[in-house]
Chains A and B, each alone.
Chain A
Amino acid sequence: MRALMALAILSCTALSAPAAPSLQDSAPRDAAAVAAYRGGDLVRARAEWTDLLASQHGLEGRERARILYDLGNVAFRQGHPLEAVGWYTSSLRLRPRDADTWANLEHARREAELPPADRGDLHATLYRLLGAFTSGEARLLALAGLLAWATTLVLEALRGGRALRWMARGGALLALLMASPWLYGVGTRSAHPHIVVEEGHAIVRSEPRADAAVVAEVTAGEEVEALDTLPAWVKVRAPDGTEGWVGAGSVFALER
């Protein structure tokens, strides 16, 4: 039985092991971007980091998150707090517990006259707790919960009895609890999330034309899901379910 369980764990981890990141390749460009930022050349810093993100697809998650965070600082220093909000939000998706990113995100939101990302009430705290794990961490946690549950189920199957039945139920509950961050991520993360970075609000039109009918408005800071893209236009689904086209400059892709 133990051998079977070990095999199951190994097979699970082996299925998903990603390729090793190529940090060595990105080091010179990153150093150049940092130097440009320190020297006040924000345009060059932005270009270097943006190219780095585009070229290094295998970049490990935390490293990507750091670059996204740095690009948020660049955008903020260039006087684009709404865009900075986009970069920081994007960074937090990969590194949700980073205190610096949270601090800068809230600062940028204040500057952009948006409500705080974490209002501090019970509801917001609960969702921040659920979202405090990266995707990988959430899956590992869910795996641990499942294994604990499996153990209780094996004991129950072999021995039976009321106590072990209750233990199996408790194991199920524990597994559900430990899987909740993963389930929350699965349930809430859209495939192509974007955040509205148009000051005030962005106009949603029925077709990708400037004279098309206005079907909705999405407020700055709101998250929408991108459904399609055209040059200069992005088709989005608003939080209320309305679908339509917004100018490409009005939204910021969070998956980067």
Chain B
Amino acid sequence: MTMTTFLRLGRRLASAVALSALSALASAQRAPEVKARFDPGVVKLGSAAHLFVEVENAQTGDIPALPQVAGLRFGAIGPFGTSSYTEIVNGRISSRYSITWRIPVQPLEKGEFAVPPFTVRADGRDLTTRELRLRVVEDLKGEELGLLEIEAPKEIWQGQPFTVEIRLGFEAGINGRLNYYNLVLPWLDELGGLVELDGPPIPTGKSPGKIYLNSRHELEVESHGQRKVGESTFLLMRVRKRFVATRSGALTFPTSHFEFGRKQDGLTSMFNRGGDEFVYYKRSPPFDVLVKPVPEEGRPLDWSGAVGHIEASAIADRRDVVAGDSIKLTVEWTGEANLEFFDAPDPARLDAFRAFRVYGTQDRKTWDRRSVTYDLAPIDPAVTEIPGLPLTIFDTQSGRYDTVSTKPIPIRVRPLEGATGIAAATPSSGTTVDLRDIQTRGEGGGGLAARLAPSGRALAGLTVAIVAGWLALRGWVRRRGDPDAPRARARRRARRELERALRAAQSPAEQARAVHAFLAARTGETPEAWTGRDPVRWSHPHPEDAPKLEPSVAQALAQLFARLDAAIWGQGAGAQAGKVEDREVLALADRVAAGGL
């Protein structure tokens, strides 16, 4: 594995991790992240440079101390500047803050200086920068011998991938004397809101070799022919890098340099020649890329987060299946867009795919295409096509939200033989769903309900009658007293209580008490009122009044009292002998109650 391949894989992994993290945590508070860079990365002795330290996702911070580097003098750290921005990842939008220090740096001598990692404290966390390098040279000579052009779009949309093309070269006349090439891009990996993506590979046979990148890594370049400028001819190389801006606002790319010359430790894969050491410098001025926010107006709820210009196509591996069989539907989205980062549509959530089951998906991402294979199974033999799969995007060409859809794919779904579980309406193989047969006489039957049922008017009348009857009955009953009053309840309970008391009575005296309690409950008096009372006289105290009890009942009651008294006083209280039969007493009680007492 070459260094370049390793670096590319590492970057891809880092991008994926970074964007996955952005995606997963877009709505939550993300951890602060520090980035630092020199601007410019190559400085002439006597000129000043600046150290930029930026912490994303933080609102406060400080730099306790800067490392001591012999040959460099750092200025005062000073207060940080704050900026806020919106960030968009996979269609999720969140507000972010970042803080930035701009620290002046004065080189004291020439040489290549390595600034070791130092600590930055942000929102209570300690963060560490990467090692930084600053090259200080005696003279930035050789401007006329070199060429460095960096081409990038002036405006892009937030989330829209874009390509930065870097053309670098040197005068053809000095070609034979060079063995050292270094492209100094201080903004690479150190610019907040900018994430590098995989770019197009260099065509086979088009690369003359590798050069240094930021004095640290190797970078494969692509031959780009020659260019005549005035009297000079320049040999050109090209590097193309893809990025995506995750936040809106201006992205400022600081000064870049192309160093070329001859060194003892120069890269010799391109040219290998001996001689004195020298280095020339070609400078590219800083430039801005304006990142426009994706508009909120008209944003569909189902926006996938796709930004760019996208075309969709779909193919199915099978088009003649049995219901329930799997069809692999491969959908490809191509175009200049953030193909790696949008949420692929889920057919299981689309009405058009209701007659399908979705068993799974396989997602493949490359820089120029997004390919998702859906494992679908039609469950209804009535299905005649795989519907188009829509994807809602923000089209950077029109500047509006749009939907790109695949074309429907006609399919044939045969009924599943002997199946009942997948779809209720799925008939057996070779059969079809048809009408149920006509019904002939005798299958109907019934009709009793229609004959017995009252009419609607009768029901309405009955309802009124029930309510009226209830009110009347209630009023009539209440006129005779509240049926729920304690006395009325005791009166109703009296017979039951008598029976219970007689069953428990052990002597004539207890029987007498039970009878007195019964009569008291029926008359609303206390049981003591009946002790020694003559029922005949009580029932009919005045000859001119109607008796309270029938004379025969009153007489029987008097006889019962007499028998009980005789039993009590004649043989002693508590004795079992002399008790009156329970049923005899109860029969008399019933006569008393029936007599109106």
Contacts and interface: CB of A to CB of B under 8 A. Distances in A.
Interface of A: 8, 11-13, 15-18, 21, 23, 27, 30-31, 34, 37, 60-63, 65-66, 69-70, 73, 76-77, 95, 100, 103-104, 107-108, 134-140, 142-143, 146, 149-150, 153-154, 156-161, 179, 182, 186
A143 B452 CA distance: 11
Contacts of A186: 456
B470 A157 contact: yes
Contact of A134 (B435, B449, B469): B449
B483 A160 contact: yes
B435 A136 contact: no
A69 B482 contact: no
Contacts of A149: 466
Contacts of A143: 453-454, 459, 462
A21 B459 contact: no
Contact of A16 (B440, B458, B463, B467): B458
Contacts of B451: 17-18, 136
- Which residue, of A11, A63, A138, A157, has the highest number of chain B Cβ atoms within 10 A? A157
Interface of B: 433-441, 443-447, 449-459, 462-463, 465-467, 469-470, 473-474, 477, 482-484
A186 B462 CA distance: 17
B321 to A, nearest CB: 22
Nearest to A17: B451
Contacts of B474: 156-157
B449 A182 contact: no
B438 A158 contact: no
Contacts of A159: 483-484
B447 to A, nearest CB: 4
A159 B449 CA distance: 35
Nearest to A152: B470
Given A70-B438, A158-B477, A140 B449 contact: yes
A61 B449 CA distance: 10
Contacts of B438: 34, 37, 69-70, 73
Nearest to B483: A160
Contacts of B457: 15
A60 to B, nearest CB: 4
A62 B455 CA distance: 18
13 contacts: A15-B454, A15-B458, A16-B453, A61-B447, A61-B450, A62-B444, A76-B435, A140-B449, A140-B452, A146-B466, A150-B469, A156-B470, A160-B477
Contact of B447 (A62, A70, A108, A182): A62
Given A17-B451, A134-B449, A65 B459 contact: no
B453 A161 contact: no
A8 B466 CA distance: 10
B465 A8 contact: yes
Q: Which 4 A-B pairs have the closest CB atoms?
A: A160-B484, A136-B450, A12-B454, A136-B453
Contacts of B462: 8, 12, 143, 146
B473 A154 contact: yes
A156 B447 CA distance: 36
Contact of A103 (B436, B439, B447): B436
